[in-house]
Amino acid sequence: MACPTRVSRLARVFRACRAVGTAYQYSVFHLHLSEQDLNTLLSRLEEIIDQGADDIRVYRLQSPQQIETLGKGPLPEGIFGD
């Protein structure tokens, strides 16, 4: 069971990411950001997380062709400006 402090911290991370991207799971987001906006978000997240307990990873996708799906695609129309 997560302690209330951890739950609160992770909820703040969730809200910060959801404010600038699309949430697919509680801990998986698709973000379409400029380098500056990404750095701003990462700085904000760095202030929120416990670096000894939490883990945030960024995977840069250059195009929608790098995403493989089965069934209905997970990305809403126009997310890459198409």
Give per-residue pLDDT as tens, 12-69.
Answer: 999 999 999 988 877 889 898 999 999 999 999 999 999 999 999 998 887 666 666 6
The whole-model pTM stands at 0.72
The DSSP secondary-structure symbol of 18 reads: H
The rounded distance, in Å, linking the Cα atoms of 42 and 53 is: 16
Instruction: Provide the 10 A C-beta neighbour count for residue 57.
Output: 5
Give the closest residue to 79 by CA, choosing from 63, 59, 56: 63
